[in-house]
Amino acid sequence: MNHITPKPLKKGNTIAFIAPAGSIKDADAIERAKQYFENNGYNVICSKHLFDQNKYMSDTDKNRLEDLHWAFSNKDINAIICARGGYGCLRLIDKIDYDLIRNNPKIFCGYSDITILSAMFLKNAGLITYSGPMARGDFGLEEIKPYTITNFFNTVAEGKQIKIKAEKIYKSGCAKGITFGGNLASVVSLCGIDFIPDEDFIFFAEDLNEPVYKIDKMFTQLLNIEKFRKNIKGLILGDFLDSGYPEQLDELLEEIAQKYDIPTLGGYKITHDKEKITVPYGELCEIKNDTLII
């Protein structure tokens, strides 16, 4: 499937905030995010069910799906930024109209549970999305992190090349492929369906509040899949926040790099933390010894 790169974000464009996963309890943060974009020359529309709630999710599956389809089908909307992660995207993937996504390509940005949508949009619609900041936890901060903002606009508006040296080298080498991965637990939740790219990929990963043994289990589960082992050509590691026992985590990542003989670089600001880079999801990239180039 040919991959589709959405048009870059421009001043005057309209951005939709949607919540396909967890519920939004702090409306003030969404208002701050809205004001940030409007003050910088963009228009913002909030989806109909953005502030609704169904248990731990933002409204029912039907209504969250309705908001997702609305954001892609509305010709006046140029970009979609998810409000937050949490949980809920997995419940939508068998109901999404992927032809609608393919025929209405536009910027789509988020991380954490939103990883599930990025993976499925790439697989079933060929759409390149963005693993990056969200409305509530990033643009909605009382003090937005300049690093996050600069990297976001450099990627989605300017289309600038990402070229960052690793802080940690587990295994040096060279590799090429498309970017694929994101939040590790979210990717693993897709096991059992057809979600792995058919081409070579560089897998990037991060997570939050997962102990080392669970990180081990999740990487092992993915690497037990023949297609995953065949197509992975490199590994880019972000933060595994609050995992405990950092020495054990380093040992695990070193073991993976050596066992599967793939270039493995770490220390990237792919993270649940406030300072983060924005990674195009499905874009061709390259590892050159100690550097990631997208």
Residue 3 annotated to the active site: no
Q: Which of 58, 112, 186, 189 is catalytic?
A: 112
* Model confidence at 1: pLDDT above 80: no
pLDDT for the residue numbered 2: 87
Other C-beta atoms closer than 10 Å to the C-beta of 3 total 17
Average pLDDT (250-273) is 97
Q: Examine the pLDDT at 46 and tell me if it is beyond 80.
A: yes
Catalytic residue, from 118, 206, 210, 243: name it: 206
Percent of the chain with pLDDT over 90: 98
Q: In the predicted model, is pLDDT for residue 87 greater than 80?
A: yes
Average pLDDT rounded to a whole number, residues 100-114: 98
Q: Following CA atoms 181, 184, 187, 189 in sequence, which dihedral angle do they give, to the nearest 10 degrees?
A: 180
| Annotated active-site residue in 58, 131, 272, 283 | 272
**pTM given for the model:** 0.97
HSE value, Cβ hemisphere, 13 Å, CA-based, for 30: 20
pLDDT at 139 over 80: yes
Mean pLDDT of 202-219: 98
According to the model, what pLDDT value does residue 170 have? Answer: 97
Alpha-carbon span 108 to 14, nearest angstrom: 13
CA distance 228 to 43: 40
Amino acid identity, position 202: I
End-to-end CA distance of the chain: 20
Q: Which of 22, 150, 144, 129 is nearest to 83 (CA)?
A: 22
The whole-number average pLDDT for the span 268-294 is: 97
pLDDT at 40 over 80: yes
Q: What is the pLDDT of residue 77?
A: 98
- The token duo for 35 is 């004001």
Q: Are strands 107-110 and 163-165 parallel, antiparallel or unpaired?
A: unpaired
Question: Would residue 23 show up in a list of annotated catalytic residues for this protein?
Answer: no
pLDDT of 119 higher than 90: yes
Write out pLDDT tens, residues 160-169.
999 999 999 9
Summarize the confidence of residues 86-102 as an average pLDDT.
Answer: 98
Distance CA 213, CA 6 (A): 38
